[in-house]
Structure 1
Amino acid sequence: MASKTDFIIVPGAWHGPEAFDPTSALLEKAGYTIHGVSLPCFGASPPLKNFDPDVQVIRDTVNKVLSSGKDAVLIYHSYGSVPGSEALSEYVKKLESGNQKEGWGKIRRLVFCCAFVLPEEGSLMAALQFNDLPWFIVNGDEVLPNTPEKIFYNDLSDEVAAPYIAAIKPHSYRTFSSQQSVAPWKVIPSTYIVCEKDQAIPLPVQEGMLAMAHQLAPTSFDVIERCSASHSPFISQPEWLAKMLIKAAGGAA
């Protein structure tokens, strides 16, 4: 029997949803439908001026799933949580007012996979205290990662990492300054996947964001899962991550 819950995958900067294929294949094998979002910021030419196009394509995907009567679990990776959160602004308003659309599904849970947790009016650059990270290579309105083998894939062999490095495309730098108007993790059940070997969003930063979230909304992030992975557990630990995502969807882990 097909699951009533679909997974919507929102990748981070420099990546397409294909990076999640090792995990997506396991979820599909378990009977789930996967919707990988291809963000307009991925290799955009010219680069985007803000995250609005990313927000719109995520919102369209969410509405398509929910309007079919199915529930959804959203998986945010890294930057993906920023436009991914903003895409839920209307959903959060309806949730808080109790005015959800009849016949539509619901968002069962958000899963932040070593992703940014921002408050209202927060931006990724504000979270970085308006300083570029040392591994940013900024060229005009584009940014690329230096040494991605260390930043994103430090628990993969060179051979396994090579095709993922080759698939990286420039990211639209100005999207990092776009501000969220909503913090959906305050009102939608949320899971955080802590990746202890992450070099892109190091462990103390992940734990600091969770501490901030719990201070602002004590019941937020009621589930915290930890693994020894780098920034890309969907590649290096797909079996473990698939179990955590099935658990998030209400299935047996």
Structure 2
Amino acid sequence: MPSVDSSPPLSSWDQDAQAVRQVIMERLDAGKDVVVLAHSFGGIAMSEAAKGLGKKERAAQGLQGGIIRLIYMCSMALPKGQSHIGQLTPQTPEEEELEKQRQELEAKYGGMEITADGALKLPKDNVHMILYNRCDPKDIERAVELLGTFPAGPLSVPVTYTAYREIPSTYIVCKNDFALRLPYQRRMIAQGEGCFDVEECDEGHSPWMSKPQFIVDCVRRASGEEVYIENLAVTH
């Protein structure tokens, strides 16, 4: 994403959304249907990028190809007018307790580092506990080395479009996610008021690393294939 390692740090997510939209349009211009999957904060860029590109909307304009489904993988699925920070403001006693625990862990292990130009930098010595629980240590080592900085500004910029109300959407719930905790995932799904198909797993914040076949199967189901599910809850 353009925001990663941006210097000076970008103030909004708009360039990320433009980058995602460009990739989508390359497929749509070729007449192809598209399934788009986003992770974590990437849900915001995906949602904004998808504006007006749903299969139904494009067909109404006589255009071939369209987005047939959005997949939010332990990701930010926001209603119009909400921001990342706003969504993660505790609203229940359970969420307040989780926020208290987060602050305690931050005090014990250290929190975000700030670069000279004001970007956020994850502490590489401890980030594996939050982002990569349940992952193979060798994968974690490689993933940590690939992490970049991220600007704080986009976290407080409200979204302009409720994508999941216009385009069929799936939410992949990760029950042991320590970055985007389960109650927050559940709240975003509830805000959708039935818009989401929901798939659930016991993974952490990086399920494509810890259980890749599950994510592959989710994408295949999202694209319309009938893929057998073993001991997993799927809601339609």
User: Same fold by TM (over 0.5)?
Assistant: yes
Q: Conserved in 2, the CA contact under 8 Å of 1:80 and 1:115?
A: yes
Q: Residue type of the partner of 1:175?
A: P
Q: Residue type of the partner of 1:105?
A: G
| Alignment partners' CA distance in 2, 1:209 and 1:136 | 25
- Equivalent pairs, count: 208
Q: 1:121 is paired with a residue of what secondary structure?
A: coil
2:222 is equivalent to residue 245 of structure 1: no
| Alignment partners' CA distance in 2, 1:156 and 1:111 | 21
| Alignment partners' CA distance in 2, 1:101 and 1:58 | 23
Q: Residue type of the partner of 1:136?
A: M
Residue of structure 2 in register with 1:100 after alignment: 61
| Alignment partners' CA distance in 2, 1:165 and 1:231 | 14
Residue of structure 2 in register with 1:129 after alignment: 89
Q: 2:21 is paired with a residue of what secondary structure?
A: helix
Change (3 A) 1:101 1:79: farther
Q: Conserved in 2, the CA contact under 8 Å of 1:71 and 1:107?
A: yes
Question: CA offsets per residue over residues 17-40 of structure 1, 9 Å max, x none?
Answer: xxxxxxxxxxxxxxxxxxxxxx10
2:167 is equivalent to residue 207 of structure 1: no
Residue of structure 2 in register with 1:234 after alignment: 208
Change (3 A) 1:184 1:67: same
| Alignment partners' CA distance in 1, 2:62 and 2:10 | 32
Q: Please report how far the alpha carbon of residue 129 of structure 1 lies from its aligned counterpart in structure 2 after TM superposition.
A: 2.9
Q: Please report how far the alpha carbon of residue 187 of structure 1 lies from its aligned counterpart in structure 2 after TM superposition.
A: 1.8
Unmatched runs of 5 consecutive residues or more in structure 2: 91-98, 228-236
Q: Please report how far the alpha carbon of residue 101 of structure 1 lies from its aligned counterpart in structure 2 after TM superposition.
A: 4.4
Q: Residue type of the partner of 1:166?
A: E
Residue of structure 2 in register with 1:184 after alignment: 163
The TM-score, its normalising length taken from structure 1, stands at 0.76
Residue of structure 1 in register with 2:75 after alignment: 115
Rg larger in structure:
2
Q: Please report how far the alpha carbon of residue 87 of structure 1 lies from its aligned counterpart in structure 2 after TM superposition.
A: 1.4
Q: Please report how far the alpha carbon of residue 60 of structure 1 lies from its aligned counterpart in structure 2 after TM superposition.
A: 1.0
Unmatched runs of 5 consecutive residues or more in structure 1: 1-38
Q: Please report how far the alpha carbon of residue 98 of structure 1 lies from its aligned counterpart in structure 2 after TM superposition.
A: 6.5
Q: Conserved in 2, the CA contact under 8 Å of 1:144 and 1:170?
A: yes
CA RMSD of aligned residues (A): 2.3
Q: What is the aligned-residue identity percentage? A: 29
Q: Please report how far the alpha carbon of residue 251 of structure 1 lies from its aligned counterpart in structure 2 after TM superposition.
A: 2.1
| Alignment partners' CA distance in 2, 1:153 and 1:174 | 25
